[in-house]
Amino acid sequence: MAVFRPIPVTLPAHGVMFAESVHGPGFEMAERADAFHKLIYVLHGRVDYAGAGEAKPIAAPAGAVLGVPEGVRHRITDAEPATLLLLCFSKRFLARDAELAALWSAIGGGRAVGLRPGRPWGQRFESAWRAAIVEQSGTLPGRAVAITAAAENILVSLARLPAAPAANQARLRVEAVARQMAETFYEPWNLEGACARAGMSRRHFSALFRAITGRTFLEHLTELRLAHAARLLGEGRHSVIGAAFSSGYGDLSNFYRLFRQRHGLPPREWADRAQRQGRISASPGPR
């Protein structure tokens, strides 16, 4: 449903609200200041953000995100009819964890910011936003936990973006996908999905990915997964099945084959040797 004025937002007790604002023709917004922080993701259209006392407005096309701290007077004007996805959160939400407050500070530093993170981050935000809307409209146990977790993940992913945009936007998109792989290698990644996240052809993506990582897509994904499995097995607190599952392998025979190729031993033998070596290196030396 299109709106012609800013939507009212009342935060619940847990301090997080996800919302949507579909602007109708002639949408108008007077200068305002909110009693909460907010991230504004431009899903469609284009808006101009003007902060009080700022000489030049921030142009925010589709895919851009605006960060607006609590109490900052501002105004949003449609350059094109826009659809905005909102994440609103309170100081109380940030105060639950000092690291959360630090993430918000790293993003905006207490002032309004306009960012163009790129398609991979946008897809991540859209997915988290959809999941949060489902939780907000439901009554399942743990609803507030799921909503606040979605907000926390969005802040983490936004704070991890490069500080400055790269001159080569194609390379920036591939680097963003590589970072996502490093964080979520245990998910069902494939080359086609990675190309779609970067918005590139398979050939162009593969060439840039190899130039950035020094490996093919599959080689890099396998290295990330096997390195994680080796860490878990080396700690001695995980079974082979558990390490394989935690690393993203559902096929145990495939995991055994790849692990042996990478480390020269089956997983269990490698783990036993690694733990023996760890105990030896940790034991006191001769006096």
At 51, the pLDDT band (50, 70, 90 cuts) reads: confident
DSSP 212: H
Predicted pLDDT at 287: 35
H-helix segments, 140-216: 143-159, 169-184, 191-198, 202-213
* Domains assigned to the chain: 2-117 (2.60.120.10), 217-282 (1.10.10.60)
Closest CA to 211 of 162, 164, 178, 165: 178
Among 117-121, 135-139, 260-264, the least confident range: 117-121
Residue 205 and residue 241 in contact, taking contact as beta carbons nearer than 8 Å? no
Residue 189 has pLDDT above 80, yes or no: yes
pLDDT, averaged across the chain = 89
> What percent of the chain is predicted at pLDDT more than 90?
70
Strands 74-89 and 16-23: antiparallel
Tokens of 272: 């036993």
Highest mean pLDDT among 52-56, 73-77, 86-90, 236-240: 86-90
Strands 37-51 and 58-61: antiparallel
pTM for the full model?
0.68
At 205, the pLDDT band (50, 70, 90 cuts) reads: very high
Give the C-alpha distances (Å, rounded to integers) separating 36 from 71, 75, 91, 95: 7, 15, 7, 13
pLDDT in tens, 18-49: 999 999 888 888 899 999 999 999 999 999 99
Predicted pLDDT at 132: 95
Whole-number Å distance between alpha carbons of 140 and 190 = 32
Whole-number Å distance between alpha carbons of 143 and 146 = 5
At 286, the pLDDT band (50, 70, 90 cuts) reads: very low
**Which whole number is the average pLDDT over 8-24?**
93
